Amino acid sequence: MKRSIERIFQRPAQPGMVGDGFRVFNMIPGKGISQKRMSPFLLLDFNAAFDFGPSDHIRGVDVHPHKGFETVTIAYKGSVAHHDSSGNSGIIRPGDVQWMTAGAGILHKEYHEEEFSKKGGLFEMVQLWVNLPAKDKSTPAHYQGITSDQMGKVVLPDAGGVVNVIAGTFQDTTGPASTYTPINLFDIKLEEQHETSFMVPQNHNTGMLVVNGEVVVNGEVAGEHSFVLFDHDGEEISIRANKNAVLLVLSGEPIDEPIASYGPFVMNTQAEIYQAFEDFQAGKFGVLE
Ligand code: MN
C-alpha cells in the first residue's frame, strides 16, 4: 500500500552559517517537524549548491565537541576534510559519506578540503544527526568512511538513474553503513521522465529531501529543495522525475526515549547534559589542536 504524504515543506527562506564554510538550510527540526517526529533523525542541515569562490583562507568550522549521537556527512559537490580527537582524519569527496559515531564524546573540526578551497567551486552537502539509543550513547567514538564505490548500487532500468544505498535495503540491495537502530538512507539519482519505487517499513519515520530537480512522489509534486514528510499508513514510495533529480531518502525506526538536547550534546535527561558539559570542560573528550 502507498504511503500518504503528511506534508511537503519548503526550505527556510534564509540559510544559516555553520562556521564560515557551511551555508545550510535547516530542514530538521523545523516548524511541524520536531526531533521526536523524525526520530531517530535529530537534524538535517542542507548546504544547497553554493559557489564559495576561491579562497586562501580555508573555510569551515573549528574544533567542537559532539556526544550521544552520530553525524552523517554526505558530500555531493566539493570536498570536506575532517580531523578528530581520536587521531582520525580524512577527506569526504563527492559521492562519499562519513558516518561518525560521537557516542561517549569526541572533538572534531570540519572544513573545505584545501585544494577545493583554493580553487573554489560549487559546494553541496548534507549533514544528518542520528540519535543513539540510551544503551549505546557511551559507545567509544569511531567513524565509518564510506566511499562512493563501496555503496550498494542499484542501476535503474533503461538508463533511468542509479541508487546508492548508504544504509539499509533498497529493493533487495543492502548498503554498507552499520547502524545502531534500523535505518535506510538512499542517495537516488533519477533521470527526467523515469521512475522507481521501493518499500520502507511502515513504522519508520520517513522523509525525502529533493537535493536537485523536481519529482512526483506518491502523486504529489515535490520541487527543488523541498522536504517530503511521509505518514505511517503504508510502505510503498513511488517517484517519477519531472526533471533530472537527486534525492535523499531517510527512514528509521523511532527511538522511543526522551530527548534532552543542548547544542552538540544529545542525551536522555537534563542531568546527563550537565554531566556531558562537565566532562567536556574537564577535557574528557580528548585533545585536538
Ligand atoms: Mn561537527
CA of 48 to the centre of ligand 1 (A): 18
CA of 283 to the centre of ligand 1 (A): 17
**Amino acid occupying residue 137:** K
Give the three-class secondary structure for 35. Answer: coil
Write down the domain spans for the chain: 5-252
Mean pLDDT for the chain overall = 97
pLDDT tens per residue across span 257-269: 999 999 999 999 9
Distance CA 68, CA 132 (A): 6
pLDDT over threshold 90, residue 95: yes
CA of 89 to the centre of ligand 1 (A): 13
CA of 254 to the centre of ligand 1 (A): 23
Give the three-class secondary structure for 61. Answer: strand
CA of 192 to the centre of ligand 1 (A): 35
Is residue 29 reached through a cis peptide bond, with omega within 30 degrees of 0 on the bond before it? yes
Distance CA 271, CA 90 (A): 34
CA of 164 to the centre of ligand 1 (A): 24
CA distances for 165 relative to 20, 251, 263, angstroms: 31, 12, 30
pLDDT over threshold 90, residue 32: no
CA of 20 to the centre of ligand 1 (A): 13
Q: Which CATH number fits domain 5-252: 2.60.40.790, 1.10.287.1770, 2.60.120.10, 3.30.300.130?
A: 2.60.120.10
Q: Which residues contact 193 (CB under 8 A, 6 or more apart)?
A: 240, 241, 242
Q: Which secondary structure element, helix H or strand E, spans residue 119, and what is its range?
A: helix 114-119
pLDDT value for 278: 95
CA distances for 188 relative to 50, 206, 229, 262, angstroms: 20, 15, 17, 32
For cell 583562507, what's the residue? 57
CA of 203 to the centre of ligand 1 (A): 29
CA of 100 to the centre of ligand 1 (A): 9
pLDDT value for 31: 84
Dihedral sign for Cα atoms in the order 143, 263, 28, 69? positive
pLDDT over threshold 90, residue 62: yes
CA of 66 to the centre of ligand 1 (A): 7
User: In a 10 Å sphere around its CB, with 0-12 CB exposed, 13-18 middle and 19+ buried, how is residue 14 labelled?
Assistant: exposed
